[in-house]
Amino acid sequence: AFNSGRNLYTNSFISGFWFLDQLGMMALQSHQSYCRQTLMGGYYGMINITTMHVNPDYYTALLWNRLMGRKVLSAEVFETHYKNKTEAQTPQYVEDSIRVYAHCTHRWFLEKHAISKRGSITLAFINLSTHVYHTINMTGLNLGIRAEYVLQSPRRKDQHLGLHSYHVQLNGKTLRVLDHQIPVLPPNWIFDRSKKLVLPPLSYGYIVFPEAKNPVCVTPPIPGPGYPPSA
């Protein structure tokens, strides 16, 4: 936070890798709240004080509040390897590039999408790899359908704009504030239960599994302070 953060770092897409990881780790350590330095001001604010447009971390925080419930689950990455290679033949950094956090799904999502089934979980993920698409095989739960929220830096004519963009894409669509309104953040619903879960390089986001039937999440969700979350 020295010198009000750093332009093109704390106010751009690349900040989300750190920010989402911080949210996940703090929740694992039983922290009930996470305080950002400021909503506006400096380069670490969530709103650009000049243009009044929101920075990428704003969407990361908003989706966290809407999707991640207060019940924290155990999640880990193991047996990571390149396709057609063994784990021993795969460099350690490949496994280290994936981070995951799991919570029972927030009641906002369940009520928004009229989901009456209980046991839903939400997975927050970070793929730090610059080139590897990670195919995830989930163990210990019933997958079923899923709702994907994949955040990536924008592309224009197939040219990557870089990690330091002031904008962010949700499921391939650039998010923009129009008429002072935060855009709708719809998930990409995957109804094909056989379709593999693939995490793109240099991406982070959330995946909701409404049919997971996790026993910890079967009990009614904890409302918590500040419900319902707002934009």
| pLDDT recorded at residue 229 | 57
φ, ψ of residue 173 in degrees (nearest 5): -115, 125
Q: What percent of the chain has pLDDT over 90?
A: 50
Q: How confident is the model at residue 85 (pLDDT cuts 50, 70, 90)?
A: low
Q: Are strands 159-160 and 121-127 parallel, antiparallel or unpaired?
A: unpaired
Distance (Å, whole) CA 13 – CA 170: 12
Q: Torsion over CA of 10, 13, 14 and 16, rounded to 10 degrees?
A: 80
pLDDT digits (tens, 9 = 90+) for 25-67: 999 999 988 888 788 888 888 988 888 889 999 999 999 999 9
**78, 140 contact by CB (below 8 A):** no
pTM of the model: 0.88
More confident residue, 224 or 23: 23
Instruction: Give ∠ CA 209-15-177 in degrees, rounded to 5.
Output: 75
